[in-house]
């Protein structure tokens, strides 16, 4: 019998299948076909349908050509590729003429205008809603961002489109193989996602029914195995759940010589201990310090039970949303509970402040907070991939204005990332089935008839007194004053932030005058049905009204900053105020509890609570000075970026780079405003400076996006700074791995270069891009041209390190040594930490070509210096080379100590080419440690991965030798099955297995027990 949860799901399916959704979710492949009622089916045997009826296509060659066109639907396919698809090696006498005849006959079936001839080839003019695979993908994509019942309906609709394996009859043909594998993986993942949703909705029996045959057909899909074990456990079939684990373990051990992943082993342990739900971490629960976040100087009163409840709730639920009115203390509660949460869970915490973020950039903000590196494509996918094997506590603060974006990301994390727990603060719940809501109520206030002694003991009164004493230590509650303060706390509905704002004013204004002003403010606001919001608004209004004119101007101005800011930034945006007025004004705003402070290495930094920032921006708009302040803010960003750019080529570069990191969110906001308002010159000046400052250091994820946007913006393109902005966009694309864009933008910038900066940056981007693509001759030419440009001494480091690497990769070791020596000398003269560490890395890389043993200390030094300088990418390169040198010297224990953190670094930075290089080196190490099965898995996965770099030179021969030995060591049949498993495993799971093996090898061997002592 179906559960009540299933009935709810079926109703949801009916709703989402027939109402309010795009055409792609209806009809034979989902419903009306769209353009001309012509539809194509590739999820199974190739099928053409018109007006719902099947259209015969008996010719095998016509079917092959149509399939080749559908693989690249909407894009041109070269005629030679279509000839190969139709005839293979058995070509007709006149291939071109035969193709024209074939296409003419195909047009009879699909329409005269459907197959179009273009300069680049032939294109099938097909809309997304005409192709079942495109509609399938759209269903799956939408399912990731909606509540579970609706998501289940979408996945059911998607599955109804599937008639069999993608491109079934052509799946083994060269033109379709990659696309068929990609779509089939999506199809299989959708089955697993659907099972996960059923479990989320409490229907374990339905999940078992769907998973049992699926696991039988795909026995090596570990995620499906884990879901089946969980579903059986929740259905009360504990023995069956454990049996499925043992079946899988035996299959892996007997046929492949492998063990189940750490996640699946942990799941088995939790089933044995009757400990589901729970986390899937293999790491021990070691407390880590909480991240620096909220520094509050007010006491934390009346919330002990709430904090304990939060810790308990997060221990039992993977998603907890702390809700309440603005100013009630949601953020403060989570900040105070965070150390206890970290200690209980043993998880590192990451805090994401979403207050100033729009809904389109939620994933970018989360990825930036996780320190994900610049990625090409979907930053949300990169963050989820990292979290899928990286246990963490994620705190999402101020979600109420971006609930759609938060819901989509959190829903995906809950399904894909079993080791992640999420705490969110929001005025409204997120709206996911797995969500546990923890409402935070205002502080208790005295009743009107409470005796003075009892009133003083309430949390609201104690908070008022504490805050007032911090402003005026002599402040005391007298018997006469207690009733007035009690009334103020009641009128403010016990909202802590409103009480704090009132108390700071009472300390100087007096309690009775404050009560009178408060009554006036509340009367003006009226009753809007939100008592907490009304009282907070009143407190903000009269607190603002009590400020002097200059302090009001200052508060409105500093609201343009994202995150915190320093005194210099405040002085730059406070248009018309002198520096002395700004310093004094900030002190006044801090005393009024409108601005908070925190200590940093570079001095005091200031910040506004999100509620106050919103209020400040409203005041700025009202004054009519918003454009002037925003312009001043962008000019400050330009000045700061240019000074950092100059500093990064000499002594003090690490300090300058740290300042840019601290201001990155505000710089991004300044560029976005400049692009949005047509200030192209200003936007290009900022992004050009960011590009110059990123050489050898890299670029933060949140800045890469705006730098690339500026490179293609028409307003920027119309200014004199366009070449520099294009070159900066090219280098940003290099950091993302988008080498095609990098070369295109660099080649556009180079001929238009006006000065040495423009030319240097364009040549640098082109040289690195061609080096990564293996075009060594082109790269060498660009490096030589770069050396001729001139400029700061540090640029000689860039040119000579590039030439040293090109020479080293080409086997010219003497030439590589010569350029490495010149780079080292130039780096010492320049004094830049980042440039010096990169020169040290290149020197060690060259040394390793001759004698790896001499390179080891140099590589350790280079990695240490790069990390100290904040050049994470350069540090990773040096560490990768160190692991390779240690492995090839037979110093495996030392290599194991280094490779685990290195894998985590590359995964976090999302630099998959370097990650695959590291996994290949690890495969050598594992083969030497008598683990040929895991070595074979890593090599096969790297060979299959599109993001893995080609192996050249000595490395190519080394890996060929290793690959030839593995079938004999593991058995030919097992080797084939391992290769098949490698193709099926998501790449993050490959890394997870590698990390698990490294952890096990590094663990101390059990020592025999000694004699008992009494």
Give the β-pairing of 121-124 and 115-118.
antiparallel
Is the pLDDT score of 556 beyond 90? yes
Domain 4-178 matches domain 547-624 at the CATH topology level: yes
pLDDT value of position 452: 66
pLDDT value at residue 683: 97
Which helix (H) or strand (E) segment holds residue 117: the answer is strand 115-118
pLDDT at 381: 87
Helices (H), 546-625: 549-558, 567-573, 579-591, 610-623
Position 774 scores a pLDDT of: 82
Does the pLDDT at position 661 exceed 60? yes
The full set of domain ranges for the chain reads: 4-178, 203-272, 304-439, 455-545, 547-624, 911-1002
Whether omega for the bond prior to residue 213 falls within 30 degrees of 0, making it cis, is: no
Name which CATH class applies to 304-439. Answer: alpha beta
Q: Give the side-chain half-sphere CA count within 13 A for 802.
A: 32
| pLDDT in the model for residue 722 | 97
Does residue 526 have a pLDDT over 70?
no
> 522: pLDDT confidence band, cut at 50, 70 and 90?
low
Residue 635 pLDDT greater than 50, yes or no: yes
- Phi and psi of 115, rounded to 5°? -105, 110
* CATH domain 203-272 topology: 1.25.40
DSSP 808-877: HHTT-HHHHHHHHHHHHHHHHHH--HHHHHHHHHHHHHHHHHH-HHHHHHHHHHHHHHHHHTT-HHHHHH
pLDDT at residue 290 in the model: 60
Higher-confidence position of 415 and 803: 803
Q: Please report the pLDDT score of residue 294 as a whole number.
A: 63
Q: Report the CATH number of the 4-178 domain.
A: 1.10.10.10
Output the pTM of the full model.
Answer: 0.68
- Dist. CA 252–CA 259, nearest whole Å: 6
More confident position, 494 or 525: 494
Residue 743: predicted pLDDT: 93
Q: What pLDDT was estimated at residue 696?
A: 85
pLDDT higher than threshold 80 for residue 563: yes
| Residue 279 to residue 344: CA distance in whole angstroms | 12
- pLDDT given for residue 282 in this prediction: 31
Confidence of residue 181 (pLDDT cuts 50, 70, 90): confident
The residue among 140, 162, 66 whose CA lies nearest residue 106 is: 66
Q: Does residue 95 contact residue 102 with C-beta atoms inside 8 Å?
A: no
Q: What are the contacts of 24-32 at 24+ separation with CB within 8 A?
A: 24/128, 24/129, 24/134, 24/135, 24/138, 24/139, 25/135, 25/139, 25/154, 25/157, 27/52, 28/52, 29/132, 29/135, 29/161, 30/132, 30/135, 30/139, 30/157, 30/160, 30/161
Q: Please check the confidence at residue 242 and state whether its pLDDT lies above 70.
A: yes
Report the distance separating Cα 572 and Cα 719, nearest Å.
25
> Kindly report the CA angle at 493 between 490 and 498, in degrees rounded to 5?
105
Q: Identify whether the C-beta of residue 420 lies closer than 8 Å to the C-beta of residue 412.
A: no
pLDDT at position 2 over 50: no
Q: In the prediction, which pLDDT does 395 show? A: 96
How many Å apart are CA 805 and CA 379, to the nearest integer?
Answer: 30
Q: Residue 23 — pLDDT band, cuts 50, 70, 90?
A: very low
What confidence tens digit (pLDDT) does each residue in 41-58 have? 999 888 888 887 888 877
Topology classification of domain 547-624:
Arc Repressor Mutant, subunit A (1.10.10)
User: Residue written as tokens 């001929």?
Assistant: 751
Between 503 and 895, the more confident residue is 895
pLDDT at 718: 95
CB atoms within 10 A of CB 453: 9
- Structure-block tokens of residue 290: 């909480």
Is pLDDT at 32 greater than 50 in this prediction? Answer: no
Average pLDDT rounded to a whole number, residues 556-560: 95
Task: Average the pLDDT over 484-510 and give the result.
Answer: 84
CA distances from 567 to 93, 602, 605 (A): 79, 11, 7
Mean of all residue pLDDT scores within the chain: 84
């Amino acid at each position: 019998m179906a559960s009540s949860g299933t009935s709810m799901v079926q109703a949801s399916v009916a709703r989402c299948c027939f109402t309010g959704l795009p055409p792609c979710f209806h009809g034979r492949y989902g419903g009306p076909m769209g353009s001309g009622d012509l539809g194509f089916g590739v999820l199974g045997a190739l099928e053409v349908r018109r007006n719902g009826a099947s259209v015969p296509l008996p010719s095998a060659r016509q079917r092959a050509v149509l399939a080749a066109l559908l693989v690249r639907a909407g894009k041109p396919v070269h005629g030679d590729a279509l000839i190969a698809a139709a005839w293979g090696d058995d070509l007709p006498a006149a291939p071109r003429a035969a193709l024209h005849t074939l296409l003419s006959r195909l047009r009879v079936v699909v329409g005269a205008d459907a197959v179009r001839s273009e300069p680049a080839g032939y294109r099938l003019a097909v809309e997304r809603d005409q192709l079942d695979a495109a509609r399938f993908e759209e269903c799956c994509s939408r399912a990731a961002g909606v509540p579970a019942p609706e998501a289940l309906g979408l996945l059911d609709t998607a599955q109804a489109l599937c008639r069999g394996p993608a491109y079934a009859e052509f799946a083994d043909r060269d033109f379709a193989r990659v696309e068929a594998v990609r779509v089939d993986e999506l199809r299989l993942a959708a089955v697993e996602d659907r099972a996960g949703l059923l479990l989320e909705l409490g229907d374990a029996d339905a999940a078992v029914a769907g998973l049992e045959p699926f696991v039988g057909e795909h026995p090596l899909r570990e995620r499906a195995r884990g879901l089946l074990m969980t579903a059986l456990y929740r259905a009360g079939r504990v023995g069956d759940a454990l049996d499925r684990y043992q079946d899988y373990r035996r299959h892996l051990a007997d046929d492949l010589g492998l063990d189940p992943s750490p996640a699946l082993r942990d799941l088995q342990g939790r089933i044995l201990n009757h400990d589901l739900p729970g986390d899937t971490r293999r790491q021990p629960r070691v407390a880590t310090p909480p991240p620096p976040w909220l520094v509050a100087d007010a006491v934390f009163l009346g919330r002990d039970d709430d904090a304990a409840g939060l810790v308990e709730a997060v221990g039992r639920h993977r998603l907890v949303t702390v809700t309440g009115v603005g100013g009630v203390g949601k953020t403060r509660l989570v900040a105070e509970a965070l150390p206890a949460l970290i200690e209980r869970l043993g998880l590192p915490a990451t805090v994401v402040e979403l207050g100033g973020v729009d809904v389109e950039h939620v994933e970018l903000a989360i990825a930036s907070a996780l320190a994900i590196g610049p990625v090409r494509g979907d930053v949300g996918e990169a963050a989820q991939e990292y979290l899928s094997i990286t246990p963490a506590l994620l705190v999402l603060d101020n979600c109420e204005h971006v609930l759609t974006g938060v819901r989509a990301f959190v829903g995906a994390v809950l399904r894909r990332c079993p080791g992640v727990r999420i705490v969110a603060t929001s005025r409204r719940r997120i709206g996911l089935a797995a969500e546990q809501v923890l409402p935070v109520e205002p502080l208790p206030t005295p009743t009107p008839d409470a005796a003075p002694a009892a009133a003083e003991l309430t949390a609201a009164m104690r908070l008022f007194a504490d805050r007032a004493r911090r402003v005026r230590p002599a402040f005391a509650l007298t018997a006469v004053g207690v009733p007035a303060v009690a009334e103020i706390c009641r009128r403010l509905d016990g909202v802590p932030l409103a009480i704090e704002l009132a108390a700071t004013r009472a300390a100087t204004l007096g309690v009775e005058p404050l009560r009178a002003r408060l009554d006036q403010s509340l009367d003006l606001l009226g009753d809007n049905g939100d008592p907490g919001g009304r009282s907070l608004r009143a407190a903000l209004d009269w607190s603002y009204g009590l400020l002097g004119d200059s302090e009001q101007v200052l508060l409105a101005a500093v609201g343009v900053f994202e995150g915190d800011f320093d005194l210099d930034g405040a002085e730059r945006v406070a248009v018309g105020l002198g520096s002395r007025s700004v310093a004094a004004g900030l002190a006044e705003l801090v005393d009024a509890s409108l601005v908070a402070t925190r200590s940093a290495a570079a001095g005091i930094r200031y910040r506004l609570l999100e509620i106050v920032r919103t209020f400040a921006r409203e005041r700025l708009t009202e004054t009519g000075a918003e454009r002037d302040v925003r312009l001043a803010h962008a000019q400050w960003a330009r000045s700061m970026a240019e000074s950092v750019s100059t500093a990064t080529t000499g002594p003090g570069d690490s300090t300058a780079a740290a300042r840019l990191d601290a201001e990155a969110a505000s710089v991004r906001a300044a560029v976005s405003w400049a692009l949005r308002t047509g200030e192209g010159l200003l936007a290009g000046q900022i992004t050009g400076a960011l590009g110059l400052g990123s050489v050898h250091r890299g670029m933060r994820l949140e800045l890469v996006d705006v730098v690339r946007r500026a490179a293609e913006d028409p307003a920027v393109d119309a200014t004199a700074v366009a070449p520099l902005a294009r070159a900066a966009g090219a280098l940003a694309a290099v950091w993302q791995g988008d080498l095609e864009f990098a070369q295109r933008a660099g080649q556009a910038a180079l001929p238009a270069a006006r000065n040495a900066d423009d030319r240097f940056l364009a040549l640098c981007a082109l040289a690195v891009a061609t080096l990564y693509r293996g075009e060594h001759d082109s790269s060498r030419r660009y490096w030589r041209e770069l050396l001729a440009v001139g400029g700061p001494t540090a640029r000689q480091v860039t040119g000579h390190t590039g030439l040293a690497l090109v020479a080293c990769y080409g086997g010219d070791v003497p030439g590589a040594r010569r350029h490495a020596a010149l780079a080292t000398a130039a780096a010492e003269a320049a004094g830049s930490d980042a440039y010096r560490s990169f020169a040290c890395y290149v020197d060690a890389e060259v040394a390793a070509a001759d004698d790896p043993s001499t390179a080891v200390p140099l590589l350790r030094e280079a990695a240490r210096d790069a990390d100290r300088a904040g050049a994470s990418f350069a540090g990773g390169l040096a560490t990768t080379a160190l692991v390779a040198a240690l492995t090839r010297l037979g110093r495996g224990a030392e290599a194991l100590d280094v490779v685990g953190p290195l894998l985590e670094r590359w995964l976090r930075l999302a630099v998959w080419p370097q990650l695959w290089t590291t996994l290949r080196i690890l495969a050598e190490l594992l083969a030497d440690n008598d683990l040929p099965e895991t070595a074979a898995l890593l090599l096969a996965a790297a060979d299959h991965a599109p993001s893995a770099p080609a192996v050249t030179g000595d490395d190519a021969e080394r890996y060929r030798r290793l690959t030839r030995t593995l079938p004999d060591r593991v058995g030919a049949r097992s080797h084939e099955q391992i290769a098949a498993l490698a193709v099926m495993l998501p790449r993050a799971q490959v890394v997870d297995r590698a990390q698990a093996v490294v952890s096990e090898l590094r663990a101390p061997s059990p020592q025999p027990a000694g004699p008992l002592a009494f």
